Amino acid sequence: MQKLNNYILGKQISGDGDGQILYNAVTGNPIAAATTKGINFEEVLNYGRKNGYALRKMTFHERGLMLRALAIYLRKHLDTFYNISYQTGATKADSWIDIEGGIGNLFANASLRRKLPDTPFCLDGEHHPLGKQNTFMGHHLLVPKEGVAIHINAFNFPVWGMLEKIAVNLLAGMPCVVKPATVTSYLTEAVVKEIIASNILPEGALQLICGSAGNMLDYVTSQDVVTFTGSASTGLQLKSHKKILEENIPFNMEADSLNCIVLADDVEKGSAEWDIFIKEIRKEITVKCGQKCTAIRRIFVPENKIEDVKNDLSKALSQTTIGNPLNDKVRMGSLVGINQRNEVKEQVQKLLASSQIIYGSLDSVSTIDADAEKGAFISPLLLLNENPFTSKEVHEVEAFGPVSTLMPYKNLEEAIELSKLGKGSLVSTIVTTSEKNAEQYVLGAGAYHGRILILNNECAKESTGHGSPLPLLVHGGPGRAGGGEEMGGLRGIKHYMQRVALQGSPSMITAVSKVYMPSAKGNIDKQHPFTKYFEELKIGDQLITERRLITSEDIDKFADISGDHFYAHIADTDFSGTMFERQVAHGYFIMSAAAGLFVDNYKKNPVLLNYGIDELRFTKPVYPGTEIYIRFTCKEKIAQDKKDETDIPKGIVKWLVEMIDDTDELTGIATILTMVAKKNES
């Protein structure tokens, strides 16, 4: 039988022995075998660490463009991926979430390059002045770890599970080894095969093992990062590994959890929110045949609405056609394998100790264009538990399939307490039209959930749904859910970088970080900074302007032009009891006057436009008779991509604007952004 390839050590290795046979979840026919027997995992990890240098020396912009190119490349092979995905029991809609959702993660993380510097590292947070004379300061710097990210993934999303993790570690500059769950690893292998063929990633940036992870964790080091997605029990076993503890290795765990949805008492049958509630639950039970770590397992409903919800949910589930995913009429496919079906049934039997089935059957299911026994098919199951506060099983046992339990509550306080009995969840949803209910639930249940969706008719059309983690938001949850977090936009890359606290002079921190620090030495020359092209500008290029006298007439004119006649800007105001001695200049006038001082007037230059102002602060009143001058410094440069062939090559330059009075004290400070042309196309 054909064996899957392990992409390791720069080549394809199929492993020794017969391996584990993998089956088509729909037909039961064998597909391939997977094995890692004979693989030296110490060599695999060392190979990744050694070759990781290529990634680490790339800038965030280069890594981001690499991810974008990879996403575009993979989209050309969608048909291949979809055809293989059907064999996992996934419908086209299920596969879309897995395949195109995974590729979407690459695009989303690629876009983060615009928020990061064109360097291999970045600053984290704000700078901290540590001396009265401004000669000593502190800052935090993030640098890529020099190890390997090891991703141990679950079976339910063989594409998304891999791509959502590697997108982040690659952007951070860290190579990885991916170990997908063996049962669906044939789909992961197909995607990795194309990634390797693309030659877009540096050699060793991505390695794949299809089969057992063996003794790989015996060879991890303090520079490595381990992530795990799967059951809480397996996660705990891995997290407790001797080497993980000894080397203090970051371990990010995303475990299956007993997520819940709450119908608030303000929602009535027949309303738009009622229909949204029913639709959301049906979707979460049937999409991916319920094999989602974020699926709704517990449904909390006001006790006087239990019967109506039971009837409407049963009707909705009865309209779900089950069978061969290749059939256009099918809306729910199969579980990933017979073993998974057996496990789901075992878990349901545990739930039946305190619950009853009110829709579906454990023993039979009607299928279209498929053999229900040869394939891993199962009926959607809706259970009812009438005593949720005294039944522990419903808050502890998860049947990882199309299974959910309906439960009553008396008031929202009870619903919040019931949500907490899951001991930590990835996600919860409350369906409500009441802002008060939403606030009460979020603040009451928030500590026990990684994400909360407030769902109503206002957001339903654009909502990605209860079960959809998003690349720019954290995905994870406390307690049983693993206590970790994935993705999260810029937050996510910090898992794969080392935070270093820097201390030194502003000039030294500027030299290391490539971002100008206040009070650092400036580079002053005869050429005005605005006459320099993007490539010619250096961090620290500085202009000290001439002085301008601020008069009462200036302030009056600005008040008339702007329409801002705030009392403090009017000369004859009685200033007793105010913060001011007398008429004071508008802060925005001082900022405008600053522009008049630092702009290279009348001359056409490489500055294309003013892009905006960040962090504008007015720190000292400016009274008539005060002279001001500006210290204008190139703070940071961010290259931009050309949108098309006709676009002007350019970048964004951040300038530190310090507005200083005749006592040499700051009256205001800001960061302005200009769009500056490049001299060259590249």
* Residues labelled catalytic: 254, 293
d(CA 499, CA 142): 5
Q: At residue 496, what are phi and psi to the nearest 5 degrees?
A: -110, 15
Give every CB contact of residue 580 below 8 A, 6+ residues apart in sequence. Answer: 568, 621
Give every CB contact of residue 488 below 8 A, 6+ residues apart in sequence. Answer: 472, 473, 474, 475
Q: How far is CA 11 from the centre of its chain?
A: 31
Cα→Cα distances 390→380, 393, 418, Å:
25, 9, 11
- Gap between the terminal Cα atoms of the chain: 50
**Residue 456 · residue 134 · CB < 8 Å:** no
Q: Residue 491: is it exposed, middle or buried by C-beta count within 10 angstroms (0-12/13-18/19+)? A: middle
**233, two tokens:** 């029990």
The angle, 0 to 180 degrees and rounded to 10, between the axes of the packed helices 101-111 and 60-75 is 150
d(CA 403, CA 409): 20
**659, two tokens:** 């507005």
Count CB neighbours of 159 within 10 A.
28
**Residue 262 · residue 419 · CB < 8 Å:** yes
d(CA 168, CA 391): 40
Question: What DSSP character marks residue 140?
Answer: E
d(CA 124, CA 515): 12
